[in-house]
């Protein structure tokens, strides 16, 4: 994992000198000066990155175990130099084998959780505790939340969180308010006033004419679960999973592109800004984050998430990594108002350099908008082990046993073991 300290930030700032000289036309929140070159903006970015640094140091202690668990989920194993030498001699000889025991166990665990928590027509059940009006309100809320669950595929998102929890010991989801935009057909009769207005524009449309056209609308909106990659999380290392809401900060890193950010900032409900500065950042090839994990155990080569800094195609993708961090702060100390009491705020930093969001969390429940599933949490361990970690030694033994059996059979059939050194190895080893 690349370490990104204070000196690295200064180097990046020097490389980006003059990149944000434009006076971007933004109405920053609360009348603050949050231009990328402002001292307030730089201070907030540093505070966010400092917390990300602390969380990464703690997370790195767990990642080796997570990578090993990911490898047990793949029946395919990348060939080592020894395996390649063996197959040069005889391509039919088996190399490293993974028995899908852990994979099957995780499927059983996930199926049990699906049946226990997401079975039935509705996931979330509400019951009024007062009179008839309370019960009617509860029934309406139950149907509304059920629609949100259906629209945004909540069962699928929860199933992914269960899989993460049984693999890594923790599964994390964020709760967002999402909108799905589309077009709807509109049928409208031309009124006298509309006919007059159209004639003024040179179009002769008589009153009573039926017009049919498509109109951009919000097709549906509601609460959406967002799966968070555990490799890309920033969690206060002082709290355990069962006390997650007592953390001082919690966040994650996600990858998007500058075009998407500029499109999102057109929606006032997104509360984003400085998208134009991020676009300039990505054009200079500086949009990716040093905190992005580029070495996991997923995929064929163990680097399934690496976009590749040296990839020529990367310069045309406008890719950008965004740190989203929810922090409990005293706004007066941060220069964000006069409030001297703790408040929960959310900040987003693009490319480790540009502040694109700074606002108090709007949740009435005054909680971080995240939920964690940790089946082995014990109220004392910050990073509890997963179900698969508990049987990791058995998994290794099964892999070795099957491979040994294959070697023995191959020796009987060919008179030589697959572990015999190929000629090229005998010459060089």
Q: Over the stretch 96-144, which tens digit does the pLDDT of each residue have? A: 678 888 888 898 999 999 998 888 889 999 988 888 999 999 999 999 9
Q: How confident is the model at residue 5 (pLDDT cuts 50, 70, 90)?
A: low
3-state SS, residue 344? strand
Among residues 354, 345, 343, 342, the alpha carbon closest in space to that of 325 is found at 345
Instruction: Give me the residue spans of the domains in the chain.
Output: 6-428
Confidence band for 312, pLDDT divided at 50, 70 and 90? very low
Beta bridge partners of 324: 252, 348
For 21-36, what is each residue's pLDDT tens digit?
777 888 899 999 999 9
Contacts of 118 (CB under 8 A, 6+ apart): 154, 155, 158, 159
Average pLDDT, stretch 85-92?
A: 64
Whole-model pTM over 0.85 = no
E-strand stretches of 162-318 = 171-189, 210-228, 233-235, 249-257
Report the SS3 class of residue 271.
coil
CA–chain centroid gap for 305, Å, is 12
- Give the residue-averaged pLDDT of 151-178: 93
Radius of gyration of the chain (CA): 28
pLDDT tens, position by position, 214-239:
888 889 999 999 999 999 999 999 99
């Amino acid at each position: 994992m690349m370490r990104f300290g204070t000196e690295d930030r200064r180097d990046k700032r020097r490389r980006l000198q003059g990149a944000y000289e434009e006076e971007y036309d933004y109405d920053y929140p609360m009348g603050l000066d949050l231009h990328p070159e402002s001292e307030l903006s730089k201070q907030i970015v540093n505070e966010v990155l400092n917390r990300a640094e602390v969380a990464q140091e703690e997370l790195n202690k767990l990642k080796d175990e997570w990578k090993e668990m990911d490898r047990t989920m793949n029946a395919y194993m990348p060939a080592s130099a020894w395996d390649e030498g063996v197959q040069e001699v005889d391509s039919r000889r088996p190399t490293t084998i993974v028995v899908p025991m852990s994979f099957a166990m995780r499927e059983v665990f996930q199926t049990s959780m699906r049946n226990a928590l997401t079975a039935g027509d509705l996931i979330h059940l509400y019951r009024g505790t007062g009179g008839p009006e309370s019960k009617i309100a509860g029934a309406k809320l139950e149907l509304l939340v059920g629609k949100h669950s259906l629209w945004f595929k909540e069962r699928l998102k929860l199933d992914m969180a269960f899989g993460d929890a049984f693999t890594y010991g923790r599964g994390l989801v964020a709760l967002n308010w999402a909108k799905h935009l589309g077009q709807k057909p509109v049928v409208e009769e031309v009124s006298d006033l509309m006919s007059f207005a159209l004639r003024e524009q040179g179009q002769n449309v008589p009153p009573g004419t039926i017009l049919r056209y498509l109109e951009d609308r919000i097709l549906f909106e509601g609460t959406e679960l967002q799966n968070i990659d555990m490799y890309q999380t920033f969690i206060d290392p002082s709290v355990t999973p069962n006390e997650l809401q007592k953390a001082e900060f919690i966040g994650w890193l996600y990858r998007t592109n500058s075009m998407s950010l500029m499109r999102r900032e057109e929606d006032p409900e997104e509360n984003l800004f400085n998208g134009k500065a991020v676009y300039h950042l990505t054009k200079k090839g500086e949009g990716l984050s040093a905190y992005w994990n580029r070495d996991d155990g997923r995929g064929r080569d163990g680097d399934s998430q690496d976009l590749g800094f040296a990839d020529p195609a990367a310069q045309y993708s406008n890719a950008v990594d965004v740190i989203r961090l929810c922090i409990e702060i005293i706004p007066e100390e941060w220069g964000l108002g006069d409030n001297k009491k703790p408040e929960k705020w959310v900040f987003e930093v693009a490319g480790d350099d540009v502040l694109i969001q700074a606002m108090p969390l709007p949740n009435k429940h005054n909680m971080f908008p995240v939920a964690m599933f940790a089946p082995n949490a014990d109220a004392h361990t910050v990073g509890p082990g997963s179900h698969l970690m508990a049987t990791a030694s058995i998994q290794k033994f099964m892999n070795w046993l099957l491979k040994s059996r294959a070697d023995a059979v191959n020796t009987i059939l060919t008179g030589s073991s697959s572990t015999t050194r190929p000629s090229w190895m005998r010459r060089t080893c």
